[in-house]
Chain A
Amino acid sequence: MTDPAFLLIQFLNGLASASNLFLIACGLSIIFGVTRIVNFAHGSFYMLGAYFAFTLADHMMPALGDAVGFWLAIPLAAVGVGLFAVLVELVLLRRIYRSHELFQLLATFGVVLIVQDLVPAVWGPEELFGPRAPGFTSFVTILGFRFPEYQLVLIAAGPLVLGALWLLFNRTRWGTLVRAATQDREMVGALGVNQAILFTGVLFLGGLLAGLAGALQLPVEPANPFMDIHVIAEAFVVTVVGGMGSVLGAFLAALIIAELQAFGILVFPEVTLVLPFLVMALVLVWRPWGLLGRPEAATGHGFAGDRPLRPLGTPGQLAAAALIVVLLLLPLVLGDYAEKLALEVFVFALFAFSLNFIMGAGGMVSFGHAAYFGLGAYGAALAVKQLGLAMLPALVAAPLLAGLGALAFGWFVVRLSGVYLAMLTLAFAQIAWSTAFQWVELTGGDNGMIGIWPSAWASNVTVYYYLTLLLCGAATAFLWRASFAPFGYTLRAGRDSPLRCDAIGIDVKRHQWLGFALAGTCAGIAGGVFVFSKGNVDPGALSIPTSVDGLVMVLLGGIQTLTGPLLGAAAFHLLEAYVLPLTDYWRALVGLVILLLVVAFPQGLAGFLRDLIERRGASA
């Protein structure tokens, strides 16, 4: 274990994976630096690099000979991905440079979903094993250990790319313009530089680097349809730890994280998935803009159609009362399946509503709200499975665990703002996910836990329907009320002008912290109720896609409205239940819905309806 030669080998393995991480993360960082877009689709670029390389090598190696064919296929695959990235820029990103960062994140996630369905459709669902790299198929012996030659190629790739990028950024006009635009792109435009050329070029470069990383990985790891999500989370961590926009920072961060993982696996193997996210949380608390990053200039992008929340007027109160009566009477006309669907809508409505509470009133864009939904779900499941508790105490455990998690994570989160805040919430959700995934003895790992059913008295669907309505309705009403309590006003004041709030003696962070914990607790209630309706829980409840579902619901309904998330949750869940089973390409469908929403209806359903009503009112 402590044999120095073995440690050296492990160090070299760490260097090889550091190269890979750096190649992915530096492109992400460069793209963010200039466009200010956090590109979720970067993982897709990486995955496409591996698949492009597979296909190219498959055709070119027989035609041109192994060596020429392979070593030509790798750069060609990278260029191919670069061109794909340019396509994404021209068709999508160009339309949303002025949008709120939430819309940008979601839009690029829409691309992820589309590519996820595209790849198996083109290349099939199986793993594709690439050829070994000609010229580097053997081993070298280092202090008595056999070390693959190809790992040395990977080790060299990182510093070589770093050097090439340094030359590009410091010795060419284009590079100087990119560095200038990273700091102040508007000023670069005012000096006569067409930013479109910079943006398109930067996407090409970033896509090229991610594609190169994917292509170079092919001899080591088979191309598979899950490479994208796995790699994107780590790439985010590296980018954020290094400081977004800093290439050298990405290099350092990749080195630190890859080495920590290489040695961490020797000491405490269970921690490998969590480790990068722990590093990120610690670094961000110590340096809120990463190792070599700089404070973000306030971009000042508001949500489309920002306007103050208004309490319900008399018509609104009547409508709410009527809705409650309808929901109470609904079981009289619905069958079991529809009742179950309806109660799931309540669950997701609360989930979305609590997310909107921290985003809308709190101004904190969370990309990991699933953490608290999932903690609630696991809290209830663990209470039943590990503690042998009945349903009602388990339903208390759900918000308790979620609330404690939100308190702990929230303490870090509220110290940041903007994109860094969103990334940290994502990191915490990944910590929760990794824990559920790797702590098999406690959580059942990937399989999760099954057989978590309501107590006998609540096993009837209709009874559980009313229980769900009561719990989710009460929690929603509570958050609604809080939005108009002095606490809600304080939160919104802190969102709109943190400095002024500080100046008049309001502790903005403390209020945000409390708001975050409240929202997490309520999401936990939703998670707990959800477990008993499904009978099981698995790490999917904590995953990125669940967080994104919540965001899509909020966006679909309309952010900065209170009715929006409720409407959005209903629309999204019913869409999921009725439309998605009809197609094999449901992810692509959701992706397209996201793109449509972001580009065409940024105000969402509720905002759209409100605008329509106001326009009629104005013309009447």
Chain B
Amino acid sequence: MSALLSVSGLEAFYGRAHILFEVALEVGRGEVVALLGRNGAGKSTTLKAIVGLLADTRGERRFDGRDIARLAPYRIAQAGLGYVPEERRIFTDLTVMENLEVGRQPPREGAPAWTPEKLFALFPNLAEMRDRPGGRMSGGEQQMLTIARTLMGNPRAILLDEPSEGLAPVIVEQMAVTIAALKDEGMTVLLSEQNLYFARALADRAYVIEGGRIRYQGTMAELMADEAVRQAYLTV
């Protein structure tokens, strides 16, 4: 089976600083893959490079058979690859409905067609605050909204950057349930995480990144069995 998203030889730079080195990864259709690593390992940089948000990158990126390495971020999004940023980046002046409107794209063949109503079924607390400005929501609510907003683009796959970061444990649990529900609908997900236990509950496979290089790849079960890798790259 050919991968929906494949990355190889990815290099990224911030000014003169070289951040990513020959990063390669693949995500198959309907798969949930975790990109694990400590703070500063290069997880967010990898995701940003894939969706075209970094000025200085090299290497191959293909999505759904298309070369996306040279595309502007909006074209990558229009190709069906959604991105949920770590910092959430909610439009704080805009209401929940308006935030969703910004994310709205035409329905796409072979991907679920989302509407605000369907999203409210998935994120029940958002339904109660349709007209609330994004700036007056809790961190967990903003995290739900940022995912919902990206889903409004009817993506074939989404990149989730540390969805559990900074959230209360009960919200983290809700988040896991939500992502599991997306997976059941057939959504393809690449998930960056520090929280191994959150990832374990969701992901089929994992890559481990450290110092801007992929150090390990395997199924989630293999990683959980490999104490040495976890010690070397994941425990703090």
Seen from chain A, the residues whose Cβ lies within 8 Å of a Cβ on chain B are: 173, 176-177, 179-180, 182-184, 186-195
Contacts and interface: CB of A to CB of B under 8 A. Distances in A.
A559 B163 CA distance: 42
Nearest to A173: B101
16 contacts: A173-B101, A176-B101, A176-B102, A179-B93, A179-B94, A183-B94, A186-B73, A188-B102, A189-B73, A189-B77, A191-B103, A191-B149, A192-B74, A192-B77, A192-B78, A194-B72
Given A179-B93, A183-B92, A184-B91, A190 B73 contact: yes
B53 A193 contact: no
Contacts of A183: 91-94
B89 A187 contact: yes
A1 to B, nearest CB: 45
Given A180-B94, A183-B93, A190 B51 contact: yes
B93 A193 contact: no
Interface in B84-104: 85, 89, 91-94, 98-99, 101-104
Interface in B57-92: 72-74, 77-78, 83, 85, 89, 91-92
A180 B73 contact: no
A182 B98 CA distance: 14
B19 to A, nearest CB: 16
Contacts of B77: 189-192
Interface string B17-35: 0000000000000000000
A176 B98 contact: yes
A283 B199 CA distance: 50
A322 to B, nearest CB: 34
Given A187-B85, A190-B53, A190-B77, A179 B91 contact: yes
Given A190-B53, A191-B149, A177 B102 contact: yes
Given A183-B93, A195-B74, A190 B85 contact: yes
A interface, by DSSP: helix, strand, loop or mixed? helix
Contacts of A180: 91, 94, 98-99, 102
Contacts of B149: 191
Contacts of A192: 74, 77-78, 103, 105, 153
Query: Which of B72, B91, B149, B150 neighbours the largest number of chain A CB atoms within 10 Å of its CB?
Result: B91
Interface of B: 51, 53, 72-74, 77-78, 83, 85, 89, 91-94, 98-99, 101-105, 149-150, 153
Query: Which of B74, B77, B98 neighbours the largest number of chain A CB atoms within 10 Å of its CB?
Result: B74
A176 B94 contact: yes
Listed from nearest, the 4 A-B pairs whose CB atoms lie closest are: A192-B77, A187-B89, A180-B91, A180-B102
A217 B94 CA distance: 35
A191 B92 contact: no
Nearest to A177: B102
Contacts of B72: 189, 194
A326 to B, nearest CB: 37
A309 to B, nearest CB: 17
A586 B11 CA distance: 48
Contacts of B91: 179-180, 183-184, 187
A329 B91 CA distance: 64
A34 to B, nearest CB: 13
A165 to B, nearest CB: 15
A195 B75 CA distance: 11
A134 to B, nearest CB: 42
B154 to A, nearest CB: 10
A176 B91 CA distance: 10
B102 A191 contact: yes
Given A176-B94, A177-B102, A184 B89 contact: yes
A189 B102 CA distance: 10
Contacts of A190: 51, 53, 73-74, 77, 83, 85
Contacts of B94: 176, 179-180, 183
B74 A186 contact: no
Nearest to B91: A180
Contacts of B103: 191-192
A453 to B, nearest CB: 53
A514 B233 CA distance: 49
Contacts of A195: 74
A175 B101 CA distance: 11
A619 to B, nearest CB: 20
Contacts of A194: 72, 74
A182 B92 CA distance: 11
A191 B72 CA distance: 11
Given A183-B92, A183-B93, A191 B150 contact: yes
A348 to B, nearest CB: 33
A68 B186 CA distance: 61
Contact of A193 (B51, B74, B92, B99): B74
A180 B83 CA distance: 17
B102 A186 contact: no
Given A186-B53, A190-B83, A191-B102, 15 more contacts: A173-B101, A176-B94, A179-B98, A180-B102, A182-B93, A183-B92, A184-B89, A187-B89, A189-B73, A191-B105, A191-B149, A191-B153, A192-B77, A192-B103, A192-B153
